[in-house]
Structure formats: structure tokens, C-alpha cells
Amino acid sequence: MKYAACIEYDGSAFMGWQFLKHGVSVQAAVEAAISRVANHPVKVICAGRTDTGVHGIGQIIHFESEAPRSLHSWKLGINSNLPDTVTLRWVQEIDDSFHARFSAGARRYRYIVLNRDTRPAVLFNRVSWYRNPLDHEAMHEAAQHLMGRQDFTSLRAAGCQAKHAVRELLDISVTREADMIYLDVKANAFLYHMVRNIAGTLFLVGEGKQPTSWIPELMAQKNRRFAGATAPAGGLYFVHVDYPAEFGLPTEYHLPRLAV
């Protein structure tokens, strides 16, 4: 039997999603919990691997087991065996053709920036922090130049192992609520550090160091060193994954909003 499930986690407690021999990973915690309930070793596949410090609200996984467990038993048992920093939000049976990664049509991230002159305390590791004033409207205008299918080499981290840098950005916006700036990005797939590099690049526009018209020029250069610095991991949230309706997975999701 194949199952799909949604995982939420506090990324500051882990060295990323992927299993590591030398550190604590979300994948290892999830596999250990499921394996204990199934009473046999279980491997999971995720929709998108997240880096050290990146949070997950709507990470989707799939796993297989022939253990005779109800959905309620899976959910209750798995959550009872997960650390406090990880929770399984839902689980359901899924068609054998489903693949958490390859069946995904699009992924959505939210990047949260606390924009004030003093650093966060209560929200430490939950938000990014930028002390200089940022013009979110200019950032939003500049971000629209990233829409569509493009070569994102200029926003690709050096350690990226993807075969190519072409991705399709389906939606991007920058909004503000009091001292919080929200960058929302949806794409068919993302490169290593792509969202954080987008954020760091838009900071230059928001601070007035680059005009909104600079983005097309940057993208045409196809050179990472001309873009902004990689923004910190703590402000990034993996929010949602779109799948074809035929799989019957939940389509509702919520965007994290923080305030101090």
C-alpha cells in the first residue's frame, strides 16, 4: 500500500531534510517514526529537499507499507514517535502511480523578513532580519521580471547539482504588514538556494542600491557574482505543493504570518 502524507517541521532543529550520517535530519526522524509504527524499515520520498534551517509547513512525502494500520493509527502513531519539532499533519492512501517529487506540478515558498533596526529575539530563527529600510513596492515591481520560463543561472548557488538552470516562475509577490515583509514564490521547481538568492537580490532593490529595471540585465549576465548575497535560511518556509487533481490530495494551505 502506498501512502501520501504532509509533514511540518522546525528547520532550525535540523541540518536539512535529507538523511545525513554526520547530523540530524528531518528525513531520518520521519523514517524512524514511520518504521516504528509499521514494525519494519520504511523509506520516504519528499517533494523537495530543504536546507539547514529552512522550515516546512507543507512538505509532502510518500511511503509504502503493507502493515495493517488505519489512517488514524498511522497519524497518531507516527506523531507519537516524532520529536516535538516535527509533526505529521495528514496521511492518506494514494494511487501507486503517485510520486511525491515527480508528480508535483509546482512548489510554493514564503520568505519572511523582519525589517526594522533591531534584531529579532522571540522570532530568532523564524524570520530573516534586515536592519535598513526596504521599499517592498520596488521589490515587488522588480520581482515581476523573474516571471515565466527563464535561465536562473544568476540566482543559482555554486553547489547546485541540477542539470540546468532553466525554471518556470509561476507567481511571485512582495507584500508588507507592519515590520514584516513577505516574499511569496511559486515555480515548477527550484534550484539550490534559489529563493534565498532571489530575496538577497531584491534586498538591493529595496534598499535603493539597484533600480527595478536591473533584474533583466542581471538575468542576462548569467553570472551569480553579480546578484545579491544569499539571504539567511531562518526566514524560508516550504509552504505547499500542487499535484494533479486525479490524486485527490488536499489543495488548501496556509501562509505563515508572524508579528512581534
Helices (H) and strands (E) in the chain, counts: 5, 10
pLDDT score of 165: 87
Q: What is the distance, to the nearest Å, from the Cα of residue 99 to the centroid of all Cα atoms in its chain?
A: 18
3-state secondary structure of 174: strand
Q: In the numeric block, which cell numbers belong to residue 160?
A: 547546485
**Number of independent structural domains in the chain:** 2
Distances in Å between the alpha carbon of 104 and those of 5, 42, 242?
Answer: 14, 22, 6
Is there a single domain that holds both residue 29 and residue 50? yes
Element (H, E) at 55: strand 55-64
pLDDT score of 246: 96
In the DSSP assignment, the letter for residue 18 is S
Is there a single domain that holds both residue 141 and residue 30? no
Q: Are 63 and 3 in contact (CB under 8 A)?
A: yes
Q: Are 227 and 191 in contact (CB under 8 A)?
A: no
pLDDT score of 248: 95
Q: Which residues are catalytic?
A: 51
CA distance 249 to 254: 15
Is there a single domain that holds both residue 92 and residue 128? no
CA distance 136 to 203: 9
pLDDT score of 141: 98
Is there a single domain that holds both residue 132 and residue 216? yes
Radius of gyration of the chain from its Cα atoms, rounded to whole angstroms: 19
3-state secondary structure of 222: coil
Q: Residue ranges of the chain with pLDDT lower than 50?
A: none
In the DSSP assignment, the letter for residue 181 is E
Is there a single domain that holds both residue 13 and residue 56? yes
Q: Are 201 and 194 in contact (CB under 8 A)?
A: no
Q: Which domain holds residue 187?
A: 106-239
**Tens of pLDDT along 222-239?**
989 999 999 999 999 999
| Residue 65, number of CB atoms within 10 A of its CB | 18
Helical pair 214-221 and 136-143, crossing angle rounded to 10 deg? 50
Is there a single domain that holds both residue 158 and residue 235? yes
Is there a single domain that holds both residue 127 and residue 184? yes
Query: Where among 54, 77, 103 does a domain terminate?
Result: 103
User: Which ranges of the chain does DSSP label H, i.e. alpha helix?
Assistant: 26-38, 71-81, 136-143, 194-206, 214-221
pLDDT score of 70: 96
